[in-house]
């Protein structure tokens, strides 16, 4: 997380809302030979105190879950390179604007009996974002095929203890400079989710 307090004003609820909207991140734990990481989708509980996910049975992270284990979920959002020319101010340097949320807590393995409910919640949450497309339901998969897939994955649960967010959007720059840079970001192609980042930069005068 960025140490500048100007980029750390988002509330816990705003950071969790961002994580919930993304629903995808990098899960990391400390392994015996160094950090392990896995890119996975997840679904937050209604009270946003935990999230459910699943790992492929061969994932080395599972070998560490004989007991609950400290873990980190990194959820990344829009980002873009910022040229110092865009601020129209003297003595600026290149930088990168971005949004990222870190969820720290405890990861544990769940019984196989919990898998179906998790998969239904995960797929339903994303399918509903595709409306008016009819919502795909897990019952559409033949039982024998579904059973085969379910044997390949293991449900896990992450209890969220700490939430940190960086919303680095040029809040430390004068309003006109930040908005000017936002306009250039919208025309740039160095980064990802460029339009979203430009919009966030334009709105950055208000606390995120």
pTM metric for this prediction: 0.91
Contacts of 134 (CB under 8 A, 6+ apart): none
Determine, yes or no, domain membership for 51: yes
Locate the DSSP E strands across the chain.
24-31, 34-41, 43-44, 50-56, 69-82, 95-109, 153-168, 191-192
Residue 207: which pLDDT band, with cuts at 50, 70 and 90? Answer: very low
Determine, yes or no, domain membership for 68: yes
Determine, yes or no, domain membership for 118: yes
Position 206 pLDDT exceeds 70: no
Residue 77 token pair: 């959002």
Q: Above pLDDT 70, what percent of the chain?
A: 98
Question: Is 204 exposed, middle or buried, given 0-12, 13-18 or 19+ CB atoms closer than 10 A?
Answer: buried
Q: Above pLDDT 90, what percent of the chain?
A: 90
Determine, yes or no, domain membership for 205: no
Provide mean pLDDT across the span 16-22: 96
Question: Is 199 exposed, middle or buried, given 0-12, 13-18 or 19+ CB atoms closer than 10 A?
Answer: middle
**So what's the pLDDT on residue 1?**
83
Determine, yes or no, domain membership for 160: yes
Whole-angstrom Cα distance, residue 34 to residue 90?
43
Provide mean pLDDT across the span 98-124: 96
Which DSSP helix (H) or strand (E) runs through 30?
Answer: strand 24-31
Whole-angstrom Cα distance, residue 56 to residue 60?
9
**So what's the pLDDT on residue 8?**
92
Determine, yes or no, domain membership for 123: yes
**So what's the pLDDT on residue 208?**
40
Whole-angstrom Cα distance, residue 134 to residue 163?
34
Taking only the tens place, the pLDDT of each residue in 186-198 is 999 999 999 999 9
Q: Which domain holds residue 66?
A: 5-200
CATH code of the domain covering residue 114 = 2.30.110.10
Taking only the tens place, the pLDDT of each residue in 70-81 is 999 999 999 999
Tell me the pLDDT of the chain averaged across its residues. 94
Residue 205: which pLDDT band, with cuts at 50, 70 and 90? Answer: low
Residue 120 token pair: 């239904």
How many structural domains comprise the chain? 1
Residue 2: which pLDDT band, with cuts at 50, 70 and 90? Answer: confident
Determine, yes or no, domain membership for 207: no
Beta bridge partners, 34, equal 31
Determine, yes or no, domain membership for 63: yes
Integer angstrom CA distances of residue 27 from 39, 150, 167, 183: 6, 20, 20, 34
**Which of 86-100, 170-184, 192-206 is predicted with the least confidence, judged by mean pLDDT?**
192-206
């Amino acid at each position: 997380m960025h140490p500048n307090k100007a980029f750390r004003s988002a509330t816990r609820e705003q950071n969790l809302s961002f994580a919930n909207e993304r629903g995808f991140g990098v899960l990391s734990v400390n392994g015996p030979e160094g950090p392990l990481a896995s890119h996975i989708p997840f679904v937050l509980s209604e009270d946003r105190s935990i999230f459910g996910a699943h790992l492929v049975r061969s994932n080395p992270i599972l070998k560490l879950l004989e007991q609950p284990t400290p873990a980190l979920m990194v959820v990344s959002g829009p980002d873009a390179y910022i040229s110092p020319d865009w601020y129209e101010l003297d003595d600026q340097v290149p930088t990168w604007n971005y949004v990222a949320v870190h969820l720290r807590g405890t990861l544990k393995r769940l019984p196989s009996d919990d898998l179906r409910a998790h998969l239904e919640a995960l797929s339903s949450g994303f399918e509903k974002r595709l409306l008016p497309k009819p919502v795909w339901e897990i019952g559409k998969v033949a039982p024998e095929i579904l059973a085969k897939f379910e044997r390949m994955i293991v449900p896990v649960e992450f209890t969220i203890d700490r939430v940190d967010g960086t919303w680095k959007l040029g809040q430390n720059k004068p309003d006109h400079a930040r908005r000017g840079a936002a306009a250039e970001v919208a025309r740039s192609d160095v980064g990802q989710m460029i339009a979203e980042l430009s919009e966030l930069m334009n709105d950055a005068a208000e606390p995120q």
